[in-house]
Structure 1
Amino acid sequence: MSGLHKQLLKKHQLLNQSIELLSNVIKKFEADVMDELELATKQNFFYLLDASGLAILKDVKIARDYTIEVLNNYSQPFLANISQGQRQVLSLSFITALAQVAGGTKALEIPLFMDTPFGRLSDQHQENLIKYLPQICSQWVLLVTDKEFGPSEQNQFLESGAIGRFYELISKEAGVTEIHEVPEYEYKSGGVEHYG
């Protein structure tokens, strides 16, 4: 075997070893990220769940293909049996966990937009959301209806100090909506009665 052939064979072996090492590093990184994502999803979910959900749900598992499963107290798959509100809380927990893990911090560095978020939620889920999300979001933009944002919800937000700006959408005619900023003194005094 010539010296040139030996050199090429040695380089080929080194290249194969490097590829194997890099492949192992990538697999370890992926596994660590998935573990971190699962943990963040669990923490968010169990913080946001109401008492009845906490009584029957034990764990959240995320598979390598990003499918989510919820386990009951007997460690049995239970996703098909959870309520629509619990599904919404699970989805929100997963979405916020994705942003937290991608950003490398517990707080979301991107705004979180939610359209009619409270429609299917129990009062406890809603209260938990109002308390928790402002802690982990740099900006939380809610589009709510008057049924979702009544005096009780207004008080919860005011107590949390989470309102930065408040806007009212007023439908003028078909296809025409005006946006008005509501002064702080109006929503703090309960002067805003409709939210379009």
Structure 2
Amino acid sequence: MLKKHINKLESLILDSFQNLIRKENFISGIEINPMDYSFKLYTGNKESLATENLSAGERQLLAVSILWGLSRASGRPLPAIIDTPLSRLDGQHRQNLVENYFPQASHQVILLSTDEEINKKYYKELKPAIGRTYHICYDEELQSSVFKTDYLF
């Protein structure tokens, strides 16, 4: 039974990763060790690839893919909260997250972004899926942060 669930999880994580990564056929397989839940990645050439050999952005996408795969495997609507979601990513990976992950990650997605991450272009693309936005800014007079019910632009 454990092997069956692990196989399903491997498949869901791999599918999630392939939807986010810009390199086609980069990772063709993911294996989860049922004893310690460690990961092995396999390239398109079926060679083992250590996660330490991934770039910071690729590791971030793998982490997102693991969470997305776990969420999908649960079959339950689970909220997703993502802090600085685009911080280590290049333009294409950012675009992939905006198009392929954020709108379908969950019924409720909370993005805690910096002013440099969700720019006007990404905001426009995400707008149909946005229910509410807040801007946390510092008020000198109050000597405290305040919430505004609008976004930066």
CA distance in structure 1 between the aligned counterparts of 2:145 and 2:115, rounded to whole angstroms: 16
1:179 aligns with 2:151: no
SS at match of 2:48: coil
Gaps of 5+ in 2: none
Give structure 1 regions of 4+ aligned residues with deviation exceeding 4 angstroms. none
SS at match of 2:129: coil
SS at match of 2:69: helix
SS at match of 1:165: coil
User: Residue 151 of structure 1 aligns with which residue?
Assistant: 120
User: Residue 20 of structure 1 aligns with which residue?
Assistant: none
CA distance in structure 1 between the aligned counterparts of 2:143 and 2:21, rounded to whole angstroms: 38
Provide the alpha-carbon RMSD of the alignment: 1.9
CA distance in structure 1 between the aligned counterparts of 2:143 and 2:16, rounded to whole angstroms: 38
Contact 1:171 1:178 in 2 (8 A): yes
Q: Choose which of 69, 73, 88 in structure 2 pairs with 1:97.
A: 69
User: Residue 29 of structure 2 aligns with which residue?
Assistant: 59
Gaps of 5+ in 1: 1-28
CA distance in structure 1 between the aligned counterparts of 2:143 and 2:59, rounded to whole angstroms: 33
- TM-score, normalised on structure 2? 0.87
AA in 2 matched with 1:93: S
User: Residue 11 of structure 1 aligns with which residue?
Assistant: none
User: Residue 166 of structure 1 aligns with which residue?
Assistant: 133
The equivalences for 1:26-105 within 5 A come to 29-50=1-22, 53-64=23-34, 65-78=36-49, 79-102=51-74, 104=75
SS at match of 2:132: coil
CA distance in structure 1 between the aligned counterparts of 2:30 and 2:6, rounded to whole angstroms: 12
Contact 1:127 1:156 in 2 (8 A): no
Contact 2:78 2:108 in 1 (8 A): yes
Between structure 1 and structure 2, the one with the greater Rg is: 1
Using the TM superposition, give the Cα deviation of residue 77 of structure 1 relative to its aligned residue in structure 2, in angstroms: 1.9
Contact 2:25 2:43 in 1 (8 A): no
CA distance in structure 2 between the aligned counterparts of 1:119 and 1:139, rounded to whole angstroms: 21
Using the TM superposition, give the Cα deviation of residue 175 of structure 1 relative to its aligned residue in structure 2, in angstroms: 7.2
Deviates more, 1:110-119 or 1:166-175: 166-175
Contact 2:20 2:100 in 1 (8 A): yes
1:47-92 deviations in whole A, cap 9, x for unaligned?
Answer: 1111xx3253322222212212221222222223211111111111
Larger relative contact order, structure 1 or 2 (CA cutoff 8 Å, min sep 6): 2
- TM-score, normalised on structure 1? 0.69
SS at match of 1:171: strand
Aligned residues: 149
SS at match of 1:117: coil
Q: Choose which of 126, 136, 144 in structure 1 pairs with 2:94.
A: 126
Identity %: 28
